[in-house]
Structure 1
Amino acid sequence: MALGLMRIVLGFMLVWAFLDKMFGLGFPSPSSAAVINGGSPTEYYLNVLVEGPFEGIYHALAGNAFVDFLLLAGLLAVGSAMMLGIASKLATVGSVVMMALMFTLVLPPSDNPLVDYHIVYILATLVIYWFGGYSHLGLEDRWKGLSLVKRYPILE
């Protein structure tokens, strides 16, 4: 049950990031950066906050509408799947990839030379998946019973 609760909390963090970037709720996205106000969620973060060996790549992606779309779609899809306890394989891979990319925004990490909270989120996501956290407090059983999910096991 604790893993199910941890899964829901991690999923909510991603959904909240989506809501904040979409509507500029001020935690941390200012309303001027909100998509609904014509802002770009990647413009500020990828231009100002990035440091390290991937700085040039991220600066080139900043403000790109397609990158904004991928970020928002990923946050919403992965976060929702985690909160609902569905599509555990895709949600786990999506979460790990997003957190790994976010980890590379500031290298070395500013608060610890090796590990920051993105690594903790990756490990928590893997623990949740490997130890059955999707089968607690979620819709995993109903989801796996859907004919589409039976036909395409990657959706489990």
Structure 2
Amino acid sequence: MFAVHAPDGTRTGTGPVTLAVLRVAIGSVFLWAFADKAFGLGYATRPGNAWFSGGSPTKGFLSGVDVGPFQSVFRAIAGTWWADALFMTGLFAIGVALVLGAGLRIAATGGAVMMALMWAAEWPPALHTSGGEATMSTNPLIDYHVVYALVLVALAATPPVWSVARWWNGLPVVKANPWLR
């Protein structure tokens, strides 16, 4: 069994270590999405469509939304500078917070909001698109966006190990603003 020290100095077992690995893995998912969309690494984003090459990380996904009650809203914000900036800032900040294990409350809140918006854009309850085609939704309520949001909340509610949390929580600005933990 693994034994590590938690931020408060107590010894802990495999559960917290497993959560630390999960936290870094989920953080890496957010950071990879940021890197691919920012630099066009050729996976989900071609180099010519990279954000740093003038492309839009929201245009392709949001302009193709054709289900749910918010489709016109999502299509309207597709490719706007502020939607791109918020999305990319969120991906980067959430990823860094998770990998470092600091600022998990705000990262979980921002990540859960991002996942809720992405869930609403895909609208899993829909059986058919606005064009009448089957959506192929596998579950009308719980999909990977909901699971990611729940994981983020669980990680924020658990004292992190393998993190910079002790240093982060000791900063005067964080002490004065506990919501930054």
Task: Output the TM-score relative to the length of structure 2.
Answer: 0.80
1:137 corresponding residue in structure 2: 162
SS of the equivalent of 1:119 reads: helix
Q: Aligned letter for 1:14?
A: F
137-146 or 46-55, which moves further after superposition?
Answer: 46-55
Equivalent residues of 1:4, 1:136 under 8 A apart? yes
* Aligned counterpart for 2:152 among listed residues 119, 125, 144: 125
1:67-126 deviations in Å (ceiling 9; x for gaps) = 100110111011101110001211110111111111111112623222111111111112
CA shift for structure 1 position 50: 4.8
Q: Aligned letter for 1:119?
A: V
**1:54-93 map, 5 Å:** 54-93=70-109
More helix, by proportion: 1
* Aligned counterpart for 2:35 among listed residues 19, 36, 46: 19
Q: Aligned letter for 1:140?
A: A
Q: Aligned letter for 1:76?
A: F
CA shift for structure 1 position 27: 2.2
The answer to whether structure 1 residue 101 and structure 2 residue 121 are counterparts is no
1:31-90 deviations in Å (ceiling 9; x for gaps) = 232112211111111012452221100000011011100110111011101110001211
1:38 corresponding residue in structure 2: 54
Aligned-residue Cα RMSD (Å) equals 1.4
CA gap of 1:50–1:125, structure 2 versus 1, over 3 A, is farther
2:13 corresponding residue in structure 1: none
Larger Rg: 2
Equivalent residues of 2:36, 2:45 under 8 A apart? yes
Q: Aligned letter for 1:94?
A: G
- Percent of aligned pairs sharing the same letter: 40
CA shift for structure 1 position 147: 1.5
Q: Which runs of 5+ in 1 are unaligned?
A: none
Q: Distance in 1 between matches of 2:119 and 2:77?
A: 16
CA gap of 1:147–1:66, structure 2 versus 1, over 3 A, is same
Q: Distance in 2 between matches of 1:155 and 1:77?
A: 13
SS of the equivalent of 1:105 reads: helix
1:155 corresponding residue in structure 2: 180
Q: Distance in 2 between matches of 1:50 and 1:97?
A: 21
Q: Aligned letter for 1:75?
A: L
Q: Distance in 2 between matches of 1:37 and 1:67?
A: 17
Q: Aligned letter for 1:154?
A: W
Task: Output the TM-score relative to the length of structure 1.
Answer: 0.92
